[in-house]
């Protein structure tokens, strides 16, 4: 599952990099939780939580159906 999540994150990265940020995969748990770290401009952006839930989580759940939640660490 980790490889599938990483592949999906690679599809998201160009959008984040366009705004000066990036995303780092920290952990994928056995119960479907994906822990990520937003870096660069995304790490301190006031909209980062919305980006995480409405963008990253939505795309990951679509690409990898076993993903249940995305958590910023």
Q: What is the pLDDT of residue 59?
A: 94
According to the model, what pLDDT value does residue 71 have? 94
Report pTM: 0.89
For residue 48, what pLDDT is reported?
Answer: 87
Domain count along the chain: 1
Q: What is the pLDDT of residue 47?
A: 85
CATH code of 61's domain: 3.30.300.130
Q: Which domain holds residue 35?
A: 2-72
List the alpha helices (DSSP H) in 1-73. 2-18, 41-44, 48-50, 58-63
Q: Kindly tell me if the per-residue pLDDT of 45 is higher than 90.
A: no
23: pLDDT strictly greater than 90: yes
Q: What is the mean pLDDT of the chain?
A: 92
């Amino acid at each position: 599952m980790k490889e599938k999540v990483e592949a999906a994150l690679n599809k998201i990265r160009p959008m984040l990099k366009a705004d000066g940020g990036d995303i780092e995969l920290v952990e994928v748990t056995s119960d479907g939780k994906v822990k990520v770290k937003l870096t660069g401009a995304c790490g301190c952006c006031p909209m980062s939580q919305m980006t995480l839930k409405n963008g990253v989580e939505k795309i990951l759940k679509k690409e990898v159906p076993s993903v249940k939640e995305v958590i910023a660490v």
